[in-house]
Amino acid sequence: MGVHIFDTPYTALELTVPKTVIAKCRKPNGFSHPENNVVEYTFPETKYTTNNFKWVWYDGPGAPEKHRDLKLPNKDTLPEQGAMFVGEKGRMLLPHFDFPKLIVNGEYEKIDFPEIDTRNHYHQFVDTCLGKDECSAPFSYAANLTEAILLGVIANRFPYKKLHWDIASTQFVESEPNELLKTKYRKF
C-alpha cells in the first residue's frame, strides 16, 4: 500500500529519493515482512520542506494513536490507512478511501474540492500502452516514488541501522544492502 498512501504527500511536497532510511522493526525471520515497523526517511530539501526533511512511515500495530497531532474532532477515529499532514496552521487528514479533511484549531474546515479525475487507473494504463491515453502517474514519476518505498523495504532487512542512499550511483554507501539490489533472473 506504500505507493498509494505515499503518493499524495510525496507529490505535494515534490520529493525525490531519500538520502537515508532506517527501519525500526524485528529482525528478519526469513519468512515474512515485519508485522510492525517504523521506517524513517530523510529526504533532500524541496521548496515545501525543511533541509533533511524527515518522513516517518508506521506500519502494523503500534502506530501512534494518542499523539496530539493525530487527534480528530468530534472524537472521530483514525482510518486504518491514510496520511496526516501536520503544518504550522493546521493539519490535513488524507484517508486512503475518502476525501481529505482539513483540521484547524481542533475543528473540521470546509474544503472546496476541484474536479477529480475518476478514470479507472487499470484501464488508463492499458489505454496508455495502446497509445490512446496518457498515464496520470507515468514511469518518470512513479519510478522515484517506488524507489523510495523499496528502500524502506530493504531497510527492514537491517533493523535499526541507518542506511545511506547515493542517488547518483543508485547504491547504498554500506555494502551489505547492495546485495539486495541484484537478482538472478529465471531462464524460460
- 18-63, pLDDT tens digit by residue? 999 999 999 999 888 888 889 999 999 999 999 999 998 888 776 7
> Mind spelling out the 3-state secondary structure of the chain?
CHHHHHHHHHHHCCCCCCCEEEEEECCCCCCCCCCCEEEEEEECCCCCCCCCEEEEEEECCCCCCCCHHHCCHHHCCCCCCEEEEECCCCEEEEECCCCCEEEECCEEECCCCCCCCCCCHHHHHHHHHCCCCCCCCCHHHHHHHHHHHHHHHHHCCCCCCCEEEECCCCEECCCHHHHHHCCCCCCC
Q: What are the structural domain ranges in the chain?
A: 2-181
CB 41 within 8 A of CB 175: no
85-143: per-residue pLDDT in tens? 888 889 989 887 788 899 999 999 998 877 766 677 788 889 989 999 888 778 888 88
Q: What average pLDDT does range 131-159 have in this prediction?
A: 90
163 within 8 A of 175, measured Cβ to Cβ: no
- The whole-number pLDDT of residue 15 equals 93
Give the mean pLDDT of 6-17: 88
CB-CB contact of 39 with 152 (8 Å): yes
**pTM of the shown model:** 0.79
- Cβ(82)–Cβ(69) under 8 Å? no
Please state the separation of Cα 47 from the chain's center in Å.
19
Contact 57, 33 (CB under 8 A): no
pLDDT band at 80 (very low <50, low <70, confident <90, very high): confident
What dotted CATH number matches 2-181? 3.30.360
